[in-house]
Every structure is written in structure tokens, then in C-alpha cells.
Chain A
Amino acid sequence: MDELILKLKREIIDVLNLEEVSPEDIATDAPLFGEGLGLDSIDALELIVLMEKNYGIKLKDPTQGRDLFKSIRVMAEYIRENRTK
């Protein structure tokens, strides 16, 4: 699990161009949106692409993303249970 969390943090930094953020800066249980990282609606869409591209998880409804991106841990747990690649 810890390995997946670290991998996920690196992937998020990469796809969202968080140039000045390192994996240690992202708290595993903090909300991804609304504070801290300064992410917006386009970033949420890009995370939905990441879920499909890297883990084979297809989200159709943007509101589903809202529940999923509550924290890195929530995301990682969902991936562990639902990944198809």
C-alpha cells in the first residue's frame, strides 16, 4: 500500500505539473482539492484520465471523482480494489 501511495504521488506531480512539489509535501490523508495543492477542475479531469490510463479504472461521472479524490489514501484504496491493470 505504501508503495502504491508513493507511486501515486509521483504520478500526480508529473501529470499535474506540480513543479515545486515533492512527494513528501503531499499529506497522504489531506484533501487533494480545496486547499494545499491549489488544484482545479481541469486537474480533476486529468486525474480521471490518470485513473483510466494507468489503472484501467473508468469514471464516467465527474461527481464520482469528487468522492474519490478526497485524499491520496482514498484514491490508493480504490485503485487497489478496482484496478484492471
Chain B
Amino acid sequence: MNRVFITGAGIISALGVNKTEVLESLRKHRSGIAPLIYLNTLHRGIPAGEVKRSNREMMQMLGMPPEEITTRTSLLGMIAVDEALQQAGLETDAGMRLALVSGTTVGGMDMSEQYYKDFLENDTRNAYIATHDCGACTEMIANRTGMFSMLDTISTACSSAANAIMLGAKLILHQRADAVVAGGCECITRFHLNGFNSFLILDGEACKPFDEHRAGLNLGEGAAYVVLESGESLRRRNREPLCRLSGWGNACDAFHQTASSPRGEGAVLSMTKALASASLSPSEISYVNAHGTGTQNNDLSEGIALERVFGKVPPVSSTKSFTGHTTSAAGGVEAVISLLALQHNFIPVNLNFSSPMKELSFRPSTHDIPAFPLRHILSNSFGFGGNNTSLIFSKAEDS
């Protein structure tokens, strides 16, 4: 039996700057999707899940001097990591081997795209350019606390944060670390907004996951991390876990650079692997937090995969209808949302749904179910490159 406990979580997204705000938005069915205003782009007005704070405001939240060199992605990461560490009570804990595993693909692109022209023409020492690498982002987050003895940066597109959590679990099981802060961070940039736009997969309105008339995704941004900890460390620190990370699986769809296979081969494999590693049968899953981007291709492929794995599909929703697709952070954002759902026994609804997809036998959850006891939640995160990851979160007492 895999013994990896979760003792803390932090999140910042379009739904709010901490768990309390995010939970309230989810329970009140209040979406964070709104016209872009913070990103400086010609596509201003396109719907997206922006974090409703400027960089300056986030620096104030963090108590950073305004002249400090940083990026939006790492600011988001710092806020979420702070909250996670605080909940786990790790802020002042000395003598533990702490690792930070962070997923990002955008990294410091937000500042690079702002300063690159100057850098090329007359400002070769621009300090922001040094923050471009994905690894620099993890380092900036780690340097804020100085508590981490091991850092890893994973870049596997939209499954990055889920893979970071999976790696974190392995570090715990191999006793390489006593606790691991794992998740991901990503801000919206012109760079990938234009890229997704060139793929013609941005919905001009709020996205409609698993709807027959779905027309694409809304980009989102945010950061979210969980604190993973071994049972031994919990006993030593005399702390109760919030829940357990009971299963994980990553598989390659091996079909196309960006498109998902028609029958969701990689998705079936990642979900099956996760169930096997948690020693659970499909019928024991209470709720699936789907990848559910709202594109024609993903929702059909994932929907078919869900039917293949579960037969009778449990309640499913895509919370990207609230947060937008937070790309590399999505696996972390949806891990924390799954954790909140487990703790508060509710199924987050799937917004903007009206017509079932004709190819599928199930429809997503759209209404609150009163007093719904949740035990095990499966969360999917699929990335371009066919990089598919499924994580399973279980109540701590379900051991």
C-alpha cells in the first residue's frame, strides 16, 4: 500500500488567492472566467481565467520590495507555496529534508516577451532575461524560504504539475525526502495565448466542457501545491493528514504531437495504472475531476476513455469551466480542488453545460448533490505530447 499523506495545500487561481476563496467560488458556482485585462495583448477582451491581481499587488501580498526582479509565474508559485507550507506547519520546522518539485512550461516567458527586444538591441544585461528558464522559476520560489534541500523542475506541458506530484510521491516512498512540496505554476503570456489561438481552440465565450456544442478552451493561470509527507514524518511531527495521495499513473498516448487518440489509449492507460497503484477498483471512485478542456478533441477522447475504464461512469466534472485551463499548473490546481471536495464532501459542478455529447453515455455533474460522501477522487491531467497523468486522492481514514 502506498503511504503518501497530504498535510498542506495552497492555491491561487481565477477563483481566488487562497483555499477559502477558491472553495467559496466553487460552492457558489462563481466562475473566474472574465475578459483578459491584466495581460497586455491585442487579444484583450478574450475570456480567460486570470488571477485578479497585478504583479505589484502580488508583490505586496508577499511583502517583496517593488524593485525586486521576479516573474508573474514565480509570484503565483510563491503565494501558493507559502499557503501550503503554512498549513502543513513547516514554516519553522528545522532539520527535515524538504524537496520542492515544480512544474512549469511558460517559466519566465512573461518577462522575456516584455524585455526581449530591448535585450537584443541595447540592454544585454537585462536582469529579467536570466529569469527565463523554467528552472529559474523553481529556484526563485525556493529561495524565498531557503528551506528546500532538493529541487526538481518538470516540463511536460499541461501535465507538468500532476507529474511533479507523482515525482514527489516517489521521493517520499524512496525516503529521499521527509516532505515534498509538489505542484506547478503558470501565468498567461502572449506567447502561448497566440499559440493556442493559432490552433483555433480558444472559445470566444466561456468554455463548455463535455457539451455537444463545446467550442474550445479558455486559458487560465495560477499555481497550486500540496505538501506530501511520509507516515513516519507525520508521527514525528504529531500531525494529522488532510488526505492521502493513494495512486498515480503516467502513460504516453503515442498518437500525435498535439491531438489525443480517438479512443483515448493513453488516458485509459494512465487511469488504469493509477487505479492499480492505489489497489482500487473503478467502482470505488466517487468522483472524477476530468481534464475536460472543452476542445472537441480532448473531451471526446477523454469521454470515451472514461467509459472504457469505468463502464458506469461516476460523477464527472471539469473545473476548467471555473478556472480556465491553467496549463502546467492545472494538475496542481485540480489536486487542491479535489482535496477541498474530499474534505467538504461536495462535487464541484461542471458549468456552462446544456447538451450531452451524442457519442457519450454520460453527462457531467451540473447540480449540487446534498451530503455526498466522497472517498476516492481521480484527477486527470493530459499534456500535449500525449503525456497523460492520473492521480487518486483518498480520505486519510480510507487506508
Chain A directly contacts chain B within the complex, with at least one CB pair under 8 Å: yes
Q: Interface residues, chain A, CB within 8 Å of chain B?
A: 40-42, 45, 48-49, 60-62
Which 5 pairs from chain A and chain B are nearest by CB?
A62-B200, A41-B259, A45-B199, A45-B198, A42-B258
Residue in B198, B257, B258, B259 whose CB lies within 8 Å of A49: B198
CB closest residue in chain A, given B259: A41
Task: Tell me whether A45 and B200 are in contact (CB under 8 A).
Answer: yes
Among A60, A61, A62, residue most surrounded by chain B Cβ atoms (within 10 Å)? A62
Q: Are A48 and B258 in contact (CB under 8 A)?
A: no
B198 touches A41 (CB 8 A): no
B200 closest partner in A (C-beta): A62
| A-B contact sample (12 more), CB < 8 A, given A41-B259, A42-B258, A60-B200 | A40-B256, A40-B259, A41-B256, A41-B258, A42-B257, A45-B198, A45-B199, A45-B200, A48-B200, A49-B198, A61-B200, A62-B200
Q: What are 15 A-B contacts defined by CB distance under 8 Å?
A: A40-B256, A40-B259, A41-B256, A41-B258, A41-B259, A42-B257, A42-B258, A45-B198, A45-B199, A45-B200, A48-B200, A49-B198, A60-B200, A61-B200, A62-B200
> How many angstroms from the CA of A60 to the CA of B257 in the assembled complex?
23
With both chains docked as a complex, state the minimum distance between the C-beta of B384 and any C-beta of chain A, in angstroms. Answer: 11
CA distance A43 to B199 in the complex (A): 11
Rounded to whole Å, the gap between the CB of B198 and the closest CB of chain A is 6
Which residue on chain B has the smallest CB distance to residue A60? B200
A48 CB contacts on chain B under 8 angstroms: 200
Neighbouring A residues of B199 by C-beta, 8 Å: 45
In the docked arrangement, what's the CA distance between A61 and B200, Å? 8
**CB-defined contacts of A60 to chain B, threshold 8 Å:** 200
**Shortest CB distance B175–A (Å):** 44
